[in-house]
A and B are shown apart, each in its own frame.
Chain A
Amino acid sequence: DAKTTQPPSMDCAEGRAANLPCNHSTISGNEYVYWYRQIHSQGPQYIIHGLKNNETNEMASLIITEDRKSSTLILPHATLRDTAVYYCIVRVAWGEPSSGGSNYKLTFGKGTLLTVNP
């Protein structure tokens, strides 16, 4: 799985958009970009994922650059409850021959601590 690089921390004002970057310059053509977050000591929570097109759901938007070497997670109107560690993960989809067999393991790096301030 491709390695990712994220800033260790970011601040955002409540009500503003939070833009969290992730670099994955060694991403392969069949690898997806996933975002999870972990609110203090709770279980990680899935946010969104994408392959090459931009994606949006009720929680966030994912913007992937055309060369796929980086992406940005956007929380359009951050609230205090969005304060969490955000993880960017790059890996092949379940069932891909290069997925390490059948083990769906998510390798979490250090992530970005997003602090939303009042």
Chain B
Amino acid sequence: EAQVTQNPRYLITVTGKKLTVTCSQNMNHEYMSWYRQDPGLGLRQIYYSMNVEVTDKGDVPEGYKVSRKEKRNFPLILESPSPNQTSLYFCASKPWKGNTEAFFGQGTRLTVV
């Protein structure tokens, strides 16, 4: 089954404790992206990756890092989480070419206290 898998689904952590949210897709998609969703602000793009070793900032990259060492994986790293990064996070993937749909993961609800 084609899917984008995020882990963990829920995470409560403390300020300053480094964490990684993993994202993996099994569709051999070149393009992957991270979004955060907050009430009243909708979905906002954090980072995206065009292919292995190619990443770039989205609209709200501050406080986040990403890496793309393998095509299937695109982890989101919070080196020093802060309470304003409490949010619902989604990973998405899409083929490089073609006017096709984007696939989204099931989401990770992060709470930073």
Contact = CB atoms under 8 A, between A and B. Distances in A.
B71 interface: no
Contacts of B90: 43-44
Which bucket holds chain A's interface residue count?
10 to 19
Contact of A104 (B33, B43, B59, B107): B33
Which bucket holds chain B's interface residue count?
20 to 34
Given A41-B88, A109-B42, A104 B94 contact: yes
Interface stretch (B11-19, B74-82, B98-106): B98-106
Given A104-B31, A104-B33, A46 B43 contact: no
A105 B43 CA distance: 10
Given A46-B102, A93-B99, A109-B42, A103 B56 contact: yes
B21 to A, nearest CB: 13
SS class, residues of chain B in contact with chain A: strand
B86 to A, nearest CB: 14
SS class, residues of chain A in contact with chain B: loop
A43 B25 CA distance: 14
Contacts of A104: 31, 33, 48, 94, 102
The 9 A-B residue pairs whose C-beta atoms are closest, nearest first, are A43-B104, A46-B101, A93-B99, A108-B43, A44-B104, A108-B42, A105-B45, A43-B90, A43-B105
26 contacts: A32-B99, A41-B107, A42-B107, A43-B92, A44-B90, A44-B102, A46-B101, A46-B102, A49-B101, A94-B96, A94-B97, A94-B98, A94-B99, A94-B100, A95-B97, A103-B45, A103-B56, A103-B58, A105-B33, A105-B58, A105-B59, A106-B43, A106-B92, A106-B102, A108-B42, A110-B42
